[in-house]
Amino acid sequence: MTKAKSDKKLTTSVKKTVSKKTTPKKAVVKKSATKKVVAKKKILAYKPKKKEKYMSVAMKKHFSAILTDWRDDLKNEMQKTFDHLRTKGETYADPMDRASQEEEFAFELRTRDRERKLINKIASSIELIKQDDYGYCESCGVNIGIKRLEARPTATHCIDCKTLDEIKEKQLSG
């Protein structure tokens, strides 16, 4: 073969190679062993249907779901705090470090105590739902109202009775 012919063949084979589309290989991504974070679906505000009876089955399910989710979240937070207290319970040589740690623990325990009381209120609200008494004022028996229950699902008094109670409390305490 002559040099011209071999150059022509080489040029042709290079053109063929270049003209072929090459797809880059995808890198294989290994999944790491991380904990799954499950995002909770936020419960939206309840929108009653036209002519819907107050505290219908759908409303009860809605508020029951809110209360149950709230209770579960509080219980998870309490467990995290107890785990934290158990694992971080170190003794420090420096009295200032130890005092800071004890103050932090005392603050966390006060917060959890408030949450424990709230869990009891949530449990009583769930019980009221089961007894068909949820959503009605304990003092006057009037509907508490959906908006008030959305804001405070453990409310047991309508806004008027609660306002009167707060005025009386303010007058008694001075």
pLDDT at 123 (0 to 100): 96
Residue 58 has pLDDT above 70, yes or no: yes
pLDDT band at 88 (very low <50, low <70, confident <90, very high): confident
Quick one: DSSP state of residue 135?
Answer: T
| Ranges of CATH 1.20.120.910 domains, the chain | 52-133
pLDDT digits (tens, 9 = 90+) for 16-43: 444 444 444 444 444 444 444 444 567 7
- The structure's pTM equals 0.68
What's the mean per-residue pLDDT of the chain? Answer: 80
One-character DSSP codes across 104-120: HHHHHHHHHHHHHHHHH
One-character DSSP codes across 17-48: HHHS--PPPPPPPPPP-----PPPPPPPPP-P
Q: Both tokens of residue 101?
A: 């740690």
- CA 146 to CA 26: how far, in whole Å? 54
Task: Give the mean model confidence (pLDDT) for residues 97-115.
Answer: 87
Q: Give Cα 109 to chain centroid, integer Å.
A: 21
pLDDT at 38 (0 to 100): 47
- CA 103 to CA 85: how far, in whole Å? 12
- The amino acid sitting at 94 is D
**Chain position carrying tokens 């011209």:** 4
pLDDT at 1 (0 to 100): 52
- CA 161 to CA 52: how far, in whole Å? 25
CATH topology of domain 52-133: Four Helix Bundle (Hemerythrin (Met), subunit A) (1.20.120)
